[in-house]
Chain A
């Protein structure tokens, strides 16, 4: 396998992904750096999120996915780097940006004591929606997610899969163009994970742009654009099928193993494979 130069971001992109060149970019990140004190959490991140696609951000635990996620959500002040949303540079998370953004956080952020409807109405009010508009949208989203019968159920009584679906409904309530999900399937069974990813792929067909952070390669379809983060750096990016074709085995560990190993060797450094990381993915 031809090693990738981790300092040369252009080379990180798999060349055979011409198909992505024809897809417009909704959000691009250039030269993003972030430090927590002395610790470099993100190093020169370049990332493109394609419109109407299920963009996956893949990486083992500690790769920097959540930091990148929080930066994109505007929860962390950007230290260095540029964000361009729909062609416009973004200095900070402006109201125009945020009203186009739906977010599902890694930890559940639903109010357990309130019902599904009360949680959704609260979110609708944060978006400035009228009571009537909110009611219609809640009905539509819950119907699509087959949760309409749970409208008056306290969230505390829902199972993990239903809670996640409510969070997705909430994130989509204001019709955002861009939906970010941070390890949204954590703790869910395989069937529920599959249902959620299928649903979101379906929404992408309708024009929604999704950013899906995960450490599970199986959640990503062949045609999905994937960016792989490792130790705060973009290791490679491209369509999943293209990346897998160049991987020694069909797993994230396999992907990282071949590429990081190759890079280190090329740079003459001591080998450090992902399998030496705590909690290697898969």
Chain B
């Protein structure tokens, strides 16, 4: 004789959601720790820009004073916040890539068949990925001290929430893009059309007034690029200041892309191509 079954009601509550969020974050952290090369490559890329590229342009901005800087700065000081944003950008896109991979390989199915709402699960995954980026940012900033990029101490604290928000924004954009990707192979190509234009057509490498000198179209594109506002938010926070305009833009873009990504996310997308075709009966 079979024992009577026990049908349970889902127990909600903040503590259970918190445990879910912590679990997702721990998993991302464990995966990150396992992938040491990912950590190194995430650091080497911006460090090369800082040490090699920026060294050649060291004095290029020496003739100007612009906020949040109170005095003349070297190009290395200018470029550092953009390189912090670069770390976040690559991590966010890698996180989106891992979601495509997870969706294809099936581990995303485990996440999406758990009781919490899909929106909560996706946001948790994005925030967890963003949290993993923060140690990389701090290590980069500490190494940057060696080339005289020395923001005030308060900046090292203030940059953390700014970097977190920018990372979530970029993750949401990446997740939204990934909803249009059926297979992992397609994603690398799409990234070339996202990462590089996003980075180069922003204030990461040159201030917007320099872009304006280069051409009005270029300047307009940079102004329309959400990454520009991410860079500026990080730049100001690194010097203990709040750029409220950038904060509003980054928050708005984050909300918009999160909503779009959650609505568009379809775990079935990877299945259509890999599913077993059934002849019409």
Contacts and interface: CB of A to CB of B under 8 A. Distances in A.
Interface in B18-58: 19-20, 22-24, 26-27, 30-31, 34-35
Contacts of A193: none
B4 interface: yes
A73 B109 CA distance: 9
Interface string B242-281: 0000000000000000000000000110011001111111
A77 B265 CA distance: 12
Contacts of A36: 272, 275, 277-278
A95 B12 contact: yes
Given A52-B2, A109-B109, A175-B6, A41 B278 contact: yes
Nearest to A207: B3
State the majority secondary structure of interface residues on B.
loop
Contacts of A127: 20, 114-115
Q: Which among B7, B12, B24 has the greatest number of chain A C-beta atoms within 10 A?
A: B7
A109 B20 contact: no
B112 A40 contact: no
A96 interface: yes
Contacts of B268: 70, 75-77
B113 interface: yes
A116 to B, nearest CB: 13
A128 B105 contact: no
Interface string A51-71: 111000000011110110010
A86 B20 CA distance: 27
Nearest to A38: B280
Contacts, number: 162
Contacts of A76: 268, 271
A93 B24 CA distance: 21
A43 B275 contact: no
Contacts of A98: 10, 113-115
Contacts of A52: 2-3, 5
A244 interface: no
A3 B280 CA distance: 22
B278 A109 contact: no
B5 A231 contact: no
Contact of B267 (A38, A75, A107): A75
A62 B276 contact: yes
A208 B7 CA distance: 10
B9 A126 contact: no
B151 interface: no
A225 B269 CA distance: 32
Contacts of B217: none
B110 interface: yes
B22 A231 contact: no
Contacts of A61: 276
A281 interface: no
A108 B23 contact: no
Nearest to B104: A107
A78 to B, nearest CB: 12
A61 to B, nearest CB: 6
A182 B268 CA distance: 16
B155 interface: no
Contact of B275 (A66, A103, A105): A66
Given A95-B115, A122-B23, A109 B10 contact: no
A62 B106 contact: no
A221 interface: no
B184 interface: no
Contacts of B71: none
A62 B281 contact: no
Contacts of B105: 107, 109
A66 B276 contact: yes
B187 interface: no
Given A62-B277, A75-B267, A128 B20 contact: yes
A73 B113 contact: yes
B281 A232 contact: yes
A251 B240 CA distance: 74
Contacts of A96: 8-10, 115
Contacts of B210: none
A234 to B, nearest CB: 11
Given A95-B12, A109-B107, A101 B113 contact: yes
14 contacts: A40-B280, A43-B281, A51-B2, A103-B109, A107-B105, A109-B105, A109-B107, A118-B30, A122-B24, A126-B20, A126-B114, A126-B116, A128-B11, A128-B116
Given A62-B278, A105-B110, A124-B23, 10 more contacts: A36-B272, A41-B278, A66-B275, A95-B10, A123-B110, A126-B116, A128-B13, A128-B16, A207-B3, A233-B281
Interface of B: 2-13, 15-17, 19-20, 22-24, 26-27, 30-31, 34-35, 105-107, 109-117, 121, 267-268, 271-272, 275-281
Nearest 5 CB-CB pairings of A with B: A125-B23, A128-B16, A52-B2, A207-B3, A95-B10
